Amino acid sequence: MLVHLHIGTPKSGTTYLQGLMDRNRERLAADGVLWYGDTWNDQVFAVRDVLEIDPHDEPASEVVGAWSRFVEQVHAWSGESVVLSMEWMVHATPEQVRAVVDSLAPHRVRVVVTARDIARTVPAQWQEQVQNWATWTWEEYVAAVTSPDPRSTGPGRQLFDQYDLTSILPNWLAVLPVEDVTVVTVPGSGAPADLLWQRFAQAIGVDPGPYDTDVPVSNGSLGAASAELMRRVNVASREAGVTWQDGDPILKWALAKGVLSYRAGQEPKLRLPAEHHDWAVAEAERLVDGVQQLGVPVIGDVDELRVTGSGRAGTGEVSAEQIVEAAVQGLAGLARHIADRNAAERRAAELRRQEEAARLAAEAAEQERRARRRPTVANGVRVTRAVARRARVTAGQARRVTRARLAADR
């Protein structure tokens, strides 16, 4: 059996593909493919476990043994293949790759790597990083990643550790044969919306036609104003003592993903500044040459990893008015989010109260029923008036307690 590991790279359509496969898990199963886990988080936990990754030093109890649970499901699957997709696997060392492959024996492991050109990757990575607590300005980020020694800088190390196929692929090729490592290129703008899926489906050996490709956007990018707003919010939040663990649900998921990402079409788009176009061209050529020298199969067109044209003017600078507008809309969206959450909590609390009232009433009714049936020792009468009266009093007390609790909760 084949085990397909989709290892990234980040910001190369991975969220789209993960959402599509999750949406079509039954169709995949009908084609003999297991999309692992009840939710995608099961895949995240499995990768965290095998690679010993604890983001922001926050271990999760769900992580312990998660890779073993994945392996058990692989061995139990009676179909033709299994798919796991998680971008953190780009960080795997040769030793970790060996551990992964050995744990899945005797099944054949195949790696799929999606990749896009560097000119689109740099802006995408920066706006994603400011959604994840980063505080580098756009100018600082670009200067760092385009410097002569980018890996000596925080931004450059983060980018190239996740993007540089010439360092990622050899770690897997140290264990796997070249035919079991495939690069899938991300189509350029203007391509059919499902072209990436068609290419990925070819890599995992399924017919892409019958699949539902209408996947809701869940990891949308930010426009330039919203990205700069998030960066400033990160700075202020850190200064206020907010931790990543506490801030992530509200800042990333509610504000950035839940509100600001939907404004991207109304804001200037981040682009690599024109003065760095020559750097991007050279970096892309280095990458393409490296992939070709490694000899790995490519689905799509390796030329899509090249940077062409004369470069488009960057739009990293935004006006104060644009940032204020993003902030106003962000606050309004957060207010809506909090109002919806509070309403949901009130509905849940009311449901719990109703269930508790029904439980108490049922207990009282059952007590009264038993009291009516209970025979007396003295004369064999099924129930005395005194016992029945006590049961009715108990039922009345239960009703009064319930009404008091409801009144107090209001």
Is the separation of the CB atoms in 316 and 270 below 8 Å?
yes
Is the separation of the CB atoms in 37 and 115 below 8 Å?
no
Specify the DSSP class assigned to residue 149.
S
The C-alpha atoms of residue 143 and residue 271 are separated, in whole angstroms, by 14
The C-alpha atoms of residue 268 and residue 224 are separated, in whole angstroms, by 6
Type of residue numbered 190: G
Residue of 130 and 55 predicted with greater confidence:
130
Whether the pLDDT of residue 249 is over 60: the answer is yes
The pLDDT, as a whole number, for residue 309 is: 76
> Which of 49, 169, 159, 38 minimizes the C-alpha distance to 99?
49
The C-alpha atoms of residue 227 and residue 135 are separated, in whole angstroms, by 10
Residue of 61 and 100 predicted with greater confidence:
100
Specify the DSSP class assigned to residue 360.
H
The pLDDT, as a whole number, for residue 383 is: 47
Q: How confident is the model at residue 391 (pLDDT cuts 50, 70, 90)?
A: low
Type of residue numbered 227: A
Please give the structure tokens belonging to residue 71. Answer: 């392996």
Strand boundaries in 177-234, DSSP class E: 181-185
Residue of 219 and 328 predicted with greater confidence:
328
Is the separation of the CB atoms in 214 and 20 below 8 Å?
no
Please give the structure tokens belonging to residue 365. Answer: 């009714």
The C-alpha atoms of residue 156 and residue 283 are separated, in whole angstroms, by 13
The pLDDT, as a whole number, for residue 292 is: 98
| Mean pLDDT across the chain | 91
Q: Cis before residue 114, ω within 30 degrees of 0?
A: no
> Which of 93, 80, 15 minimizes the C-alpha distance to 50?
93
Q: How confident is the model at residue 217 (pLDDT cuts 50, 70, 90)?
A: confident
Phi, psi for residue 6 in degrees, rounded to 5: -90, 110
Strand order of the β-sheet with 181-185 is 33-35, 81-85, 2-6, 108-115, 181-185, 298-299
Whether the pLDDT of residue 225 is over 80: the answer is yes
Instruction: Say which range, 109-113, 234-238, 375-379, has the weakest mean pLDDT.
Output: 375-379
Per the rule left: phi > 0, alpha: psi between -120 and 50, beta: everything else, 56 is: left
The pLDDT, as a whole number, for residue 410 is: 54
The pLDDT, as a whole number, for residue 220 is: 81
The C-alpha atoms of residue 178 and residue 170 are separated, in whole angstroms, by 10
Please give the structure tokens belonging to residue 166. Answer: 């010439």
The C-alpha atoms of residue 84 and residue 43 are separated, in whole angstroms, by 6
pTM: 0.84
Please give the structure tokens belonging to residue 175. Answer: 């264990």
Residue of 109 and 64 predicted with greater confidence:
109
- Residue 299's SS3 state is strand
Residue of 220 and 217 predicted with greater confidence:
220
> Contacts by 393-400 with C-beta closer than 8 Å and gap 24+?
394/364, 394/367, 394/368, 395/361, 395/364, 395/365, 395/367, 395/368, 398/360, 398/361, 398/363, 398/364, 399/360, 399/361, 399/364
Please give the structure tokens belonging to residue 347. Answer: 């509905």
Please give the structure tokens belonging to residue 239. Answer: 């200064």
The pLDDT, as a whole number, for residue 103 is: 98
> Which of 168, 173, 42 minimizes the C-alpha distance to 101?
173
Whether the pLDDT of residue 393 is over 80: the answer is no
Q: Which helix (H) or strand (E) holds 2?
A: strand 2-6
Whether the pLDDT of residue 341 is over 60: the answer is yes
Please give the structure tokens belonging to residue 290. Answer: 């490296």
Whether the pLDDT of residue 402 is over 60: the answer is no
Per the rule left: phi > 0, alpha: psi between -120 and 50, beta: everything else, 151 is: alpha
- Give pLDDT tens digits for 146-200: 999 999 999 999 999 999 999 999 999 999 999 999 999 999 989 999 999 999 9
Whether the pLDDT of residue 392 is over 70: the answer is no
The C-alpha atoms of residue 375 and residue 367 are separated, in whole angstroms, by 14
What percentage of the chain reaches a pLDDT higher than 90?
Answer: 81
Strand boundaries in 102-158, DSSP class E: 108-115
- Give pLDDT tens digits for 262-286: 999 999 999 999 999 999 999 999 9
The number of C-alpha atoms within 13 Å of 80 and in the hemisphere containing its C-beta is 9
- Give pLDDT tens digits for 294-327: 999 999 999 999 998 765 555 568 999 999 999 9
Is the separation of the CB atoms in 17 and 200 below 8 Å?
yes
